[in-house]
Amino acid sequence: MTREYEKSFLLKLYRQLLTVRGFEEQVLRLYEKTLIPGIAHVSIGQEAVPVGVCAALNIDDYITSTHRGHGHCLAKGAEVSRMFAELFGKVDGYCQGKGGSMHIANQKSGNLGANGIVGGGISIATGAALSAKLQKNNRVSVSFFGDGALNQGILSESMNMASIWNLPIIFACENNQYGEYTPMRQVTAGTVKMRGEAYSIPSVTVDGMNVLAVYEATSSAVELARKGEGPSFLVFSTYRYYGHGMGDRNRSYRTREEESEWREKRDPIDNFKQHLLTIEDIAESDCGEIQGEVAQEIEKGIEFAQQAAYPNPEAVKDHVYAK
């Protein structure tokens, strides 16, 4: 880390990391209590990627997210309360209860939507980038996807188009080492970043557990995109502490030792806090204050969601077609 940062910026990152983790921990708890219906995929362990990437973006830049997308939505500007409301299936949620965990979209913060299809957002983000280029509005588009999406053909098609048209897009791969229940290496040939290089896209592998490394890599990619120099491919190495979904409890496809290696030594929040305290000279009390505020925000968000109304049953037929 050679760059210097404003204290307020660093604390904003810290706040967002805590917000994503705190949100996800409550999702786990509320799901256990059956207050959140259906399916949800938490991103605990991966927080540095959404927070670091979105810190390099403007509010009107575009993102597409994934089934493990709560962190992307929050880091791109979604409110905790309306996020919870959506997960509860309430009318005050971002999608009026029609999308749920896997489909949160928010036009106000450039979030084109999370996606239940692995790789489903990649070509949409590419279209948004083409749109930005044609409309000359200087926006950048980021497509988040996991290592699972590396093996979807749509990634190849999208990278090719992004490269030939020189589009302002960042392909942001969150390599959390597992595609659902299967180790990434078992199903993924070759060197990941070479997939971008094959299309003449500048490609780098980044420590996805280090929020500043993520931010810096993304900032460089954003700069290229805004200068009209086209797409980038960022491969973030990260780790999913919990299972694929709520039903994946035993995680028999990996060892507890491997898990604790990442959790104990590479945790993105612990390590960033250490960095703040030791390198950036930020006081423990500053961090503590933020922890308290985040906890309160999350508590209030859950309360908001619990008190919010369910959609009117008649709303089931609204929004099938736009007017």
For binding to other proteins (CB under 8 A), which residues are involved? 62, 64, 93-99, 103, 105-107, 112-113, 115-117, 120, 122-132, 134-135, 141, 153-154, 157-158, 160-161, 164-165, 318-323
Q: In angstroms, give the least distance from the CB of 78 to other proteins.
A: 12
Q: In angstroms, give the least distance from the CB of 216 to other proteins.
A: 27
Q: Which is nearer to other proteins, 1 or 117 (CB)?
A: 117
How far is Cα 52 from Cα 218, in angstroms, rounded to an integer? 8
Q: In angstroms, give the least distance from the CB of 238 to other proteins.
A: 25
Q: Which is nearer to other proteins, 189 or 320 (CB)?
A: 320
Q: Which is nearer to other proteins, 155 or 276 (CB)?
A: 155
SS3 235: strand
| 145 beta partners | 173
Task: Report yes or no: 204 and 193 within 8 Å, Cβ to Cβ.
Answer: yes
Distances (CA, A) of 186 to 244, 251, 275: 16, 16, 35
Q: In angstroms, give the least distance from the CB of 314 to other proteins.
A: 14
3-state helix, strand, coil in the chain (%, to 5): 50, 10, 40
Q: Which is nearer to other proteins, 91 or 277 (CB)?
A: 91
Q: In angstroms, give the least distance from the CB of 200 to other proteins.
A: 14
SS3 240: coil
Q: In angstroms, give the least distance from the CB of 117 to other proteins.
A: 5
Q: Which is nearer to other proteins, 116 or 202 (CB)?
A: 116
Angle at 76 between CA 219 and CA 226, to 5 degrees: 35
How far is Cα 113 from Cα 86, in angstroms, rounded to an integer? 13
| Burial (CB count <10 Å: 0-12, 13-18, 19+), residue 39 | middle
Q: Which is nearer to other proteins, 101 or 232 (CB)?
A: 101
